[in-house]
Amino acid sequence: MASVKALIGHVGWAAGAASVIKLCKALEHRLFPVQANFAQPGDALRGMGPGFEVNTHEQPWPENGALPRRAATNGFGFGGTNAHLVLEEYRGPTASPRRVAGNTEDAELVVVAAEGLFPDREGLAVAGAPTDVGPRFDLAALSLPPSVRLLPDISEDMDATQRLGLVVASALARKLGAFDALRSKTAIVLGLEGKTRRGVEAVQRVLAFSLRRRLHEQAAREPASAAVLPLADRLHSTVTETLRPTGPYTLQGMMPNVTPGRVAGVLDVKGPNFVVDAGAASSSAALRAARGVLESGFDLVFVGSTHISRPGEARGALHPEEGAALFAVTTVAKARSLGLKPLCHLRQGVVAGAHVELPAHSAGESLALFRAVQAAAEGQPTTLRFHPEAATGIRFEVTLVPPSDAPRKVAVRPAEAVPTAAVASASEAPSGFDHAGTIRYHAPVLVERPTGPRRPGYLRGRRVVFIAQDVLLARELAEHVDTLCGPDYRIVCAGNSGDEGRIRSIDLTTEASAEAGLSALAFEPEVILAVSRVNTRAGQAEVVADTAMEHGALELLFLAARRVYERLSRGGVELASLCIGAVGARRCLHPMSGLFAGILKSIGREVPARHVHAMSTSAMPLQAALDLAEGELSAEPQGTPSIEVCFDGSRRCVRVLRATAVTTEPAAPLDSNSVVLLTGGGRGVTAVLAGALLKRYGCKVVLMGRSDPDEAPPHVLHARAEDLPQVEREFYTAELARNPSTRMPELRKRFERFLAARELKSTLEGLARLPGEMRYRAADVTRAEDVVRVVQEVADVYGRLDLVVHGAGTQTSKKLNRRQLGELRTNLGTKLLGLRNLHDACVSRLARPVAFHVLTSAFSYIGNDGQADYGAANEALDRLCAWVSDASSEVRWCSVGWLAWDGIGMTRGSEYRVLGASRQLRGIRAEEGEALFLQLVDGRPREAINVQLTDSERGFYGLEVLSADASAAPVHRPLVVDAASVPCLEDHLVRGTPTLPGAWALDLMLQSAVGTGRPELRTVTIEDVRFSRFIRVKPGGQQHLRAECTPIEDVPNRYRVQVRLMGDIVHGSGVVLERDLVYAEARFTLTAEPPRGTPALDAATPTGRALRVHDPHCATGGPIELRKMFDCLEEIQIEPAARFARLGLPTAPEQAGSTVPALVMDAALRLSAMHVDGESSTVFAPIQVQRATFDRGLVEGEGRAPLRLSLKALPPRVEGDLLECGSVAALDEAGRLRMLIEGGLARPMA
C-alpha cells in the first residue's frame, strides 16, 4: 500500500494522474518505492492483517510468475466521480511512435450545437445571446432544469459556477437530439480561471476564524492589545453570519474542477472531463485541448466557459460580467458519421471576413464567441483573435467558416416585386430557424396520471389570496376557506360592490384603480389561487361570449402575479387556478380553462414551474374541488411535471399530445363557387393562406383587416425601394416644419402605417392575379358593427359563406413583470372578441352554420415565455373549437397550433430568427405553410385541435408525445413487490440481495394491463422486451413500482398493449432523487392463434452424445444464486447443435406465475444462456428478448396436475461483451409447442 500525497501534497484534480505516474515509474524500475513520511502502522492498519504492508525501505518488485506485474490505484473525486485503474507492465515489442494525421478537411473542427446563458437587465437568465444584456445574474432565480436531480444538500452547497454549467450543458445536450447515442464518447472541457465564488466564501470563513484566534493569542501575551478583541469578534460574526455554513458537500461545491465533473455525472457522459486554467487565455487553451481529446478517439466535446463574479468583486463597466457559452465540437468526419449538422467550421488562420479582437477570458469573451458562431451559422465568416498567452505572448487565431449549405446574406426584393401573396421565399433571406425536421400534426388528450403522497392540511396556516370569478362565488368561498387555510387569507373579485368581511372588490376600470385596490390589501401572499366555475348548461352563443368577455378573474390573476413576480421567480409564491366544471362528460375541456392554463403555462416558462398550477375539475361541489386543489398543491409530483392537471371526478389527468395519423376524413371539398372569409389583414400569414385557397380551388376569398391600402400617400406607394429612406427623411422634415411640437414616435408610427399600406397594396395586387376572386375590406374584427357590415356584404353578394379562417391577432413579447393590463386586453380582444363577433354575425346574417378554421400557436400549448396573454387567448380558442365540435358530435370548428413562420407575419423580425436558432426551432416557409393549411381544408378535420410539432420542439421543451397508434391514454397502476406478493423473491438472489426475476416482472406487467381479461384470446406474444435495471428488495422490505399501460389496439380477436414498469429512487430523507426510472418495458399482444415453432428448433433432436451438466445459476455463492423452486431444470444435456432439459414445475401453479408462465420462461432463458463453450460456471442475466409466445393454458393449470414439460434450445453465441441466446421452446408430453422464445440477449455477471 502506498500514497503519493505524503510526498508532494494534495494536487487537487491532478491527484489521480500523480498516482498513475508513480506506479508507472515503479513498474519501469521494478521497485517498490519507500513511503514518504511513514514510520510505523497504526492500530487500524495492523488490524487489517498481514496482507497489507506499507514500505519503509525500497525493495525489488518480484516477478508475478507467468503474469506481468500489476498494480491498482483508486481516485476518489469530489462529487462522486470516482475511478479505479489497474495497470500492468508491458511485455510486448517496442511500439513505433504514433503518426498524427495532418490537418485534412475531415479532421477540421466543426461546431454542431451551441448554447449560451446570459443575464438581462433584470438579472434573469436568458438563453442564447440577448440583445439587452445585463451585468450579473439574479442568482436566486438561476434554478436547475427539472432533468437535473441532485441531493438537496448538494445543490444548496453547490457553487453558482457549477449550477450555471449544469443549466447550459443540459440545454446543449437537448439541442443535439438523440444524445443517448453520444454519451459514451462525449468529453467535457471547460476554461475556468481562478477560485470559484464558493471557494472564496470558504477562504473568507477560514481567514476570519484564523484572524480572531491569532488576535486572542496576542492579547493573552500582550494585555494592552485586548482592546481590539471586540472588533475581531464582530468581524468574525459578520463573516460567519453572511456566508453559507460549511457542510459535508462544501469542498466539492467550491472546487473549480468539479464543474465539468458535475456536468459529466448529470449527463452521464463517459469521456474525460477537466478544467483548463490558462489565465486570460483559458478559452483558447480549452479549445486546443478539445482538439487533443478528439484526436485521442472521442467523438464529441462540450467546450466553453462559465463565469460568475466572486464575493466582493467590484462591478465593472462592461456587460456582461457573468454568463456562459458552451459548444458541441467534433470533426468533419465524425459529424458526418454521427449525422450531426455543422453550424460552422473552426479553421486556424485568417481568411476573408470580419475580424474580432476578443477580450481576456470573461463573460464578454464568451458572449462574443457565441455571437460569432451564430453569425457563421447564418452565412457570415468571422476571424477571432483570442487574448495572448501569458508565457509566450502568442495569440490563437481561428476563423469561423459557414458550412457549404449555410444561407448567404442577399438583398430582399422590394414588396411590390413579389408576384403573389406568398411573401419573400426562404431563399431570399437568412434564417436562424431549422428547416430539416418533419412537421406533423398532434392532438391533445387527457392521460390518467396519479401523483405522489399528499400532505393533509397543506394550506393550513399559510397566507392565501383567493381570486373569485364573481361576488357570488366569493361569498361561497368565504364559507369554506376558513377551515381550509385558517384566518390568514383574503378573497378578491372584480367589481365595485364594496367590501364584505375578508372579501374585497377590485375596480378593474383602469390599471391604476386595480393597482390601488390590490395595494390596499396590505397582504403578502404565499399562495394565490384563482377560482372560477363554468356554467355547464350554457349554449354555444353563451360559451363563445363568456370566453370573449368574462376575464375579471384572469385579469386579477395577472395583476396579482405581476405584483409578486420577484418572489415568484425565487419560488417564494405558489400561483394557481381552479376551474370547476371545466372537464366535460367526454373529457372535453371548457374554453374558460384555456384562459388560465394558457397564461399559467407561459408564466411557468419564466419562473420555477413547480410553483405554478392550472387545475380543472368536472362538475362538483366547491368543497370537493378545493380539497382536490389542496391535494395537488401539496403532492410530490411523479413523472414529468405538468403545470396543467385535470380531474375527471377523482381521476387525475394530465394533458399530452398524441400524433395524428390521419388529419382529415372524406368530405365535399371547397370548389370554385365556395366563399371563404379570412381575418388578419392582407399581409403575412393570412395572405399566404388566401393565396393557397385561390391557387387550389379558384374560389371567392374575402380578406378583412384593419389597414387601409389607400392610407399611404402616392409618393410613398410608388417610390422605389432604394428611395424609401430618403422619402422617410423628407416626411419627418415636412411634418416637423408643419408642426414642431409633433413627437418623433408618433411620426414613426404614422410612417410605419404608410409602409404597411404599401406592402398591403402590393400583396393584394399579387393575389388579384391568381385564379378565383379576391376582395379586401378594411374592418376591425373587434368592432361588432364592422364585422356585421362585412358578413352582410358577403351574404348579399354571394348568398353563402362556406368557411371562416380567423387569423387576426396581436402579440407583444414581454416578461410578466413588464406587461401592462391594456396589452393583455388588446391581445385577448383581437382573438377572442373577434371570434365572438364573427360567430354572432354569421348566426344572424346567414341561413346555415359556417365552419370555422382558427389559427393559434403550438407554443401556446407548450407555454411560451414572454407571451402569457397570447398563450391565454390561443389556448381558449383551441378549447372553444373542441367544445363546439364536441357539442355537435362532429368537427365543425377546428384550430391549428402553428409553429413559427420564418420571416412572415408576427415572426418576421430578426429577434425571432435568433430565438429559433438558439432553440433549434422549426421555421415554416410560405410554400410549406400552404401545404400544411390545405391538409386540413381538403376534407373534414378529424381532430378539433391540431398542434404542429417536430422532434426539435419536442426535444427542446421536453414534451411527452404519444404515438399515433396509441388509441387510448396510458393508465398507471401501483404495484408493491415484496415476499408476500412474489413468494419466490427470497430464493432469487443477485449478489446476495433478493431480486425480482425478469419473467416475474413481465408477469406483473401483464397482470396490471390485462389480468384475466379477454379469456377467449388463448395466445400471448411479448415483443421488444427490455430489462434495464435490477429490481432489488432488501429482506423484509418493499419496492413500490407502477405499471404504465398504454392500449394500442383493441379489435375482435386481437388486443395489444404497451407496458412500462417504472419506479423512483428515494433518499432516506424522503427526497425523490430520480423519477420514472424504467425497469422493464414490453409490448403484449393477445390473439387466438397458437404458437408456431421454427424449422431449426423442430429439427433439433438428441443424439445421445451429450455433455450432462448442472445449472450454474443454482450454485451457492455465485453472482446469481437461485434456490428451491428455481432448481427445476433436470437432465440438462448440452450438444453442439442444441441443448435439452426436462422441467419440474411446482404443485401449486400460482407459484410459477399468474398471467405469464414465469418459471417456465425463466428456466428457458437460463437453458438458452448457460455453458456457452463447454461446461462453465459463468452465469448471464437477460437484458432483452425479441419475442416470447406462449399458450395461456400454461398459467391456468387446465384443472389438472402440473404439466410435465421439456425444453430444447439452439446454442448461444458470444458477440462482443454480450451473449446472443439461442431460440428455446417448451413442449408438453404430447409434443405440442406451448412456449417459444426468440432473440434473447444476456450480459455476463462477473
Residue 479's Cβ-count burial label (10 Å; 0-12, 13-18, 19+) is: exposed
Query: What's the half-sphere exposure (Cβ side, CA atoms, 13 Å) at 35?
Result: 11
* Bridge pairing between strands 1139-1143 and 1019-1027: unpaired
Q: Which among 518, 589, 595, 483 is positioned nearest to 550, based on CA atoms?
A: 595
Are 273 and 263 in contact by the 8 Å Cβ rule? The answer is yes
Residues 881 and 856: their CA atoms lie apart, in Å, by: 11
Residues 712 and 756: their CA atoms lie apart, in Å, by: 9
Dihedral angle computed from the Cα positions of residues 1192, 1194, 1200 and 1204, in that order, rounded to the nearest 10 degrees? 150
CA-atom Rg of the chain in angstroms: 35
Tally of CB atoms within 10 A around 1200:
8
Which set of grid coordinates corresponds to residue 1020? 400471448
- Cα–Cα distances (Å) from 766 to 432, 730, 775, in that order, read 28, 29, 12
Active site residue 988: yes
Phi, psi of 18 (to 5 degrees): -65, -40
Are 916 and 864 in contact by the 8 Å Cβ rule? The answer is no
Query: One of 853, 1162, 1171, 1191 is an active-site residue; which one?
Result: 1162
Q: Which among 920, 1212, 1244 is positioned nearest to 1113, based on CA atoms?
A: 1244
What stretches of 956-1071 adopt beta strand conformation (E)?
961-962, 971-977, 988-990, 993-994, 1019-1027, 1039-1051, 1054-1066
Which set of grid coordinates corresponds to residue 241? 453570519
Are 302 and 326 in contact by the 8 Å Cβ rule? The answer is yes
Which set of grid coordinates corresponds to residue 736? 416637423
Residues 828 and 870: their CA atoms lie apart, in Å, by: 7
Kindly write down the DSSP assignment for every residue of 260-282, as one continuous string. HHHHHHHHT--S-EEEE--GGGH
The sign of the dihedral angle between the CA atoms of 1108, 1113, 1118, 1119 is: positive
Q: Which among 542, 640, 660, 649 is positioned nearest to 592, based on CA atoms?
A: 542
Phi, psi of 561 (to 5 degrees): -65, -40
Query: One of 988, 1003, 1111, 1191 is an active-site residue; which one?
Result: 988
Q: Which among 336, 383, 331 is positioned nearest to 355, based on CA atoms?
A: 383
Residues in contact with 739: Cβ distance below 8 Å, sequence separation at least 6, in sequence order: none
Phi, psi of 757 (to 5 degrees): -65, -35
Residues 1042 and 1031: their CA atoms lie apart, in Å, by: 12
Phi, psi of 751 (to 5 degrees): -70, -35
Are 1055 and 1014 in contact by the 8 Å Cβ rule? The answer is yes
Residues 777 and 712: their CA atoms lie apart, in Å, by: 16
Q: Ramachandran region of residue 1153, left (φ > 0), alpha (ψ -120 to 50) or beta?
A: left
Are 204 and 311 in contact by the 8 Å Cβ rule? The answer is yes
Residues 1020 and 1023: their CA atoms lie apart, in Å, by: 10
Residues 735 and 733: their CA atoms lie apart, in Å, by: 6
Are 274 and 189 in contact by the 8 Å Cβ rule? The answer is yes
Active-site positions?
Answer: 988, 1162
